[in-house]
Structure 1
Amino acid sequence: MAGALVVRGGTVVDAAGSRRADVLVRDGRVVAVEPQIGPEDAGDAAVVDAGGAYVVPGGIDVHTHLALPVGAVTSADDFASGTLAAACGGTTCLLDFAGAGREPWAEALATWHERAHGEAVIDYGFHLTVTEMPEDADAAARRFADFLDHGVASVKLYLAYPDRLMVDDETLGRALAASRRTGVRVCVHAEDGATVERLAAGAVATGRTGPEALPSVRPPSVEAEAIRRAAALAGRERAWLYVVHLSSAAGLEAVRTARADGVDIHAETCPHYLHLEQSHLESGDPDFVCAPPLRGPADRAALWRALGDGEVEVVSTDHCPFTVADRRHGTAGTGWTDFTQIPGGLSGVETRLSLVYQGVLAGDLTLEQWVAATSGTPARLFGLDGTKGALRPGLDADLVVFDPAATRRLDASHLHSRCDHSPYAGRVVSGWPALTLSRGEVVAVGGEPADPRPGRGRFVRRPPLPEERH
């Protein structure tokens, strides 16, 4: 167990607001958050001087893909390197997606536990990827109840990638009905796969085979249409629905419409949709390929506004980077001949907190909104708020001292992912973690590893949605 520690002289920021306070940590948990913690309460606790920096709950990234095989290549970070990079950037818990295709769920879960156990530096949980559901409603509910018995309280269904992942509306409807009965949360990758396949075939047939074709092959309309379909099914089943990696103003409008119609719908976006643009793809650079693709300036602006207005509630990363060599090897391993064979995904698990903090500096977010989007709200939505996501007595001492005066250049050489390039190369950000605690143990100092001990991270079992929500 971790020892005792007092973090003094900082501004604590979480769901309770911003206030000058000291934080007492003992045996891995927060013991007290008070205006001043004196020697009589601190006892033999070590003292950390926050020096006026922000003291915030550790980040929670609810969308990562570590050690994910995609054809002949695998995402660059495994649970050792990915969670180390997360800790250096101030994230202390992540949820990874278990399942790479249509394998049985128990096999997928066992595989992901094997990959994480003994490797993870910080705590972690899993979503399960679902590609089929029993037609019998009771059997479907029993399957979701089995997931809960294994500590998994959320699933993801894809409306894209028909070759290995896509489900039809009937399958998604059965999952949402089972969600209503059990409280397992349903997430969707919202792109209309049939339309994407048709547009992709047309592009390749006319010789548009490079990354520059992606914005027209996966336009905002396919995201919006998939959200409308999923939301209609969620409304019919009176079920909770979460849209991953929202990328466009059109998709955002579909979320707004569903919410106005009474659907219990939630949405995340990612740092790359807030900071990068499709001009990177238009230049033909395969290292910026992701799905949905990068969008235009108007989409970026709309997402920032929606984040500030609370319409988009979470910023996660969809962290799924590939090395330069693996991008060029392609999913077949022999080199790609068109964009459909380029493995997609960008790095972000280390840079997320700081990149979202740039919105505070720009006046798009308050400090409280920054913390909510990166920690508090993901904890609440995904069943982690009983242990994480706030600085409150009794919760895990997952804590970050975030120095607003620190700067960092976001080149790969300054980061800790095994990916050999950064989508933000050359960019210098203001604000970076000075100290990261995971359950009271120091795992990073100044954005560098501090005796992180692979294997110290624990699997976090999560409960279902509260009964009033399902």
Structure 2
Amino acid sequence: MKFDSIIKNGLVILENGEQEVEVGIKDGKIASIGHDLGEADNVIDAKGLIVSPGMVDAHVHITEPGGGYRDSWEGYETGTRASAKGGVTSFIEMPLNQVPATVDHKSIQEKFDAGKGKLSVDVASYGGLVPFNLNGGIQELDENGVVAYKCFVATCGDRSIEGDFMNVDDYSLYEGMKQIAKTGKLLSIHAENAAITDRLGEIAKANGETTLSAYVDTRPVFTELEPIRKIILFAKETGCRVHIVHVACEEGVEEVVKAQQEGVDITCETCTHYLYFYKEELDEIGPVVKCSPPIREKSRLEGMWKQVFDGNISFVTSDHSPCTPDLKDTDNAFEAWGGIAGVQNNVDVLFDEAVQKRNMSLKQFADIIATNPAKRFGLDAKGSISIGKDADFTFIKKDSPYTVAAEDLAYRHQISPYVGRTIGAQVVKTILRGQEIYDIEKGISDEANGRFI
């Protein structure tokens, strides 16, 4: 067989570990893995580089369409170009903050139309579970190809905007879980106790608190644990498969593990920023690092890493949730938008922190960025370097420190808490279905090769 491309000379992370092998690509798929594969129209030299499966980021927010309210937020073009530059070849897009939220046939079609011809990477879609789509919306989303559903038990959305996302009450959660169980798909849940965190925030603000440290204190660990326990109870009652997004404390992970041992089909993720930043430095960084659940104390960092190494946290995501700069430009942390721009710095930060600093195996690294999320969400063509899968790769240059500069960010708005940080590894090439979409020398490809999955 003559291949379209052959990757040579790299250390390739396969499903059973890393090997110095060649990878043959044909028609956008991985066609062969071995030695001396033969001829190809194109040879890709990966000498001195780690060849990893492209990251499957299971938690990304794109705000298109903006509905006249958020038209200046992150769009498909910039969000997917930043993904390509960061080594993310596929992501699962959340059903908010676009307007309208993705809650039924009409809204998901508007989303597909908005992204047409703009994707640099492949994009799978979440559908929303909200109190106002229990009469057919869940089924319409299933028919339109969502890979999973998402809901909030924490307060979310802007009630002054028609069609914006909305958190569920207990009945909507219960009824929605019953309906989603019939589809066989996952329900991913933002787990924070709304009543307590909202009221603590109101009290702190009224008392004149303005710091990020004070903001963290209004969302204590138990306000993550309580809803996780409720979700587990509802999952047992309804048979719904569930996933807890962006767990920020090891106690929350422990609740998930206990439920798994009891037979509940439940997993959890954390985010890169919960494994990197810590509470004591937040006020020095500023509101650009505000998120919820909040980033917790430095003393908790290694406990979260242990949960990752032990396999209790299934995978790591960015929760890329950017906004316009004005919504971060405030001295009052309670008034700032809560969301971090991070999709471009998933792979490099995680490789540096996990592999280079903590000696994680390359196989586990590939598992937490690609293999595990692809399996959990049924993205059968993605997630690993094996024959028949999509030819999606990120090439990583180890031990090559660089400092993140705002002008190097491909986001619509070049703000991120990683700006100014020195990261000890670099993404130097990204390949999507056999096509180069980013090279450190040539930049991001102008061809929109991505597809909706």
- Alignment identity in percent? 27
Q: Distance in 2 between the 1:409 and 1:160 partners? A: 35
- Which amino acid in 2 is paired with 1:65? H
Task: Provide the C-alpha distance between the structure 2 equivalents of 1:73 and 1:113, rounded to a whole number of angstroms.
Answer: 17
Within-5 A mapping of 1:5-84: 5-37=5-37, 39=38, 42=39, 44-67=40-63, 76-84=73-81
Distance 2:239 2:277 in 1: 35
Q: Aligned partners of 1:304, 1:75: CA distance in 2, in Å? A: 36
1:55-454 paired onto structure 2 within 5 Å? 55-67=51-63, 76-100=73-97, 104-132=103-131, 143-161=137-155, 164=158, 165-283=166-284, 285-328=286-329, 339-358=333-352, 359-384=354-379, 386-446=380-440, 449-454=443-448
* TM superposition shift of 1:168: 1.5
Secondary structure at the counterpart of residue 406 of structure 1: coil
The 3 A distance-change label for structure 1 pair 224 and 102 is farther
| CA distance in structure 2 between the aligned counterparts of 1:184 and 1:144, rounded to whole angstroms | 11
| Contact 2:127–2:138 under 8 Å retained in 1 | no
Deviation string for 1:419-445 (max 9, x for gaps)? 323312222222222221111111111
Residues 435 and 445, structure 1, Cα contact 8 Å, conserved in 2: yes
* Counterpart residue type for residue 328 of structure 2: R
Whether the 8 Å CA contact 1:398–1:440 is kept in 2: the answer is yes
In structure 2, the residue corresponding to 1:433 is in which secondary structure? strand
The aligned amino acid for 2:261 is A
TM-score (norm 2): 0.90
**The 10-residue stretch of structure 1 (73-82 or 290-299) with the greater mean CA deviation from structure 2:** 73-82
Q: Distance in 2 between matches of 1:298 and 1:71?
A: 43
The answer (yes or no) to whether the contact 2:30–2:388 under 8 Å persists in 1 is yes
- Does the Cα contact within 8 Å between 2:11 and 2:51 map onto a contact in 1? yes
Instruction: Tell me the equivalent position of 2:161.
Output: none
Q: CA deviation at 1:337?
A: 8.7
CA contact (8 A) 1:58 1:400 kept: yes
Which deviates the most, 390-399 or 311-320? 390-399
In structure 2, relative to structure 1, the CA distance for the partners of 1:133 and 1:91 (3 Å cut) is same
- CA 1:20–1:163 in structure 2 vs 1: closer, same or farther (change >3 Å)? closer
- Structure 1 residues 50-89: Cα deviation after superposition (integer angstroms, max 9, x where no partner): 1132212111111111126699656742111111111111
CA distance in 2, matches of 1:220, 1:71: 37
Distance 1:36 1:306 in 2: 40
Equivalent position amino acid for 1:57 in 2: P
Instruction: Give the Cα separation in 1 of the matches to 2:439 and 2:348.
Output: 15
Structure 1 stretch 348-357 or stretch 62-71: which is displaced more? 62-71
Counterparts in 2 of 1:448 and 1:374: CA distance versus 1, 3 Å:
farther
Residues 80-120 of structure 1 deviation map (CA, whole Å, 9 limit, x = unaligned): 11111111111111111124478552343133213321111
Correspondence for 1:333: none
Find the counterpart in structure 1 of residue 451 from structure 2. 458
CA distance in 2, matches of 1:144, 1:53: 44
Q: Which letter does structure 1 place at the counterpart of 2:425? A: G
Question: Do the aligned partners of 1:304 and 1:364 also contact (CA within 8 Å) in 2?
Answer: no
Cα distance in structure 2, aligned partners of 1:259 and 1:67: 34
Taking the aligned partners of 1:447 and 1:223, their CA distance within structure 2 comes to: 44
Structure 1 portions without partners, runs of 5+? 329-335, 461-470
Runs of 4+ in 1 over 4 A off after TM superposition: 68-76, 101-104, 336-340
Answer yes or no: is the 8 Å Cα contact 2:189–2:244 preserved in 1: yes
Structure 2 residues without counterparts, runs of 5 or longer: 159-165
Change (3 A) 1:450 1:167: closer
Counterparts in 2 of 1:162 and 1:346: CA distance versus 1, 3 Å = closer
In structure 2, the CA distance between the partners of 1:364 and 1:222, relative to structure 1 (3 Å rule), is farther
C-alpha root-mean-square deviation of aligned residues, in Å?
A: 2.4
Q: C-alpha displacement at 1:449, in angstroms?
A: 2.6
Deviation at 1:304, TM superposition (A): 0.8
Give the whole-Å Cα distance in 1 for the aligned partners of 2:374 and 2:281.
33
State the distance in 1 between where 2:441 and 2:173 align: 41
SS in 2 for 1:322: coil
| Alpha-carbon distance change, 134 to 147 in structure 1, aligned in 2, over 3 angstroms | closer
2:202 and 2:416 map into 1 onto residues whose CA distance is: 30
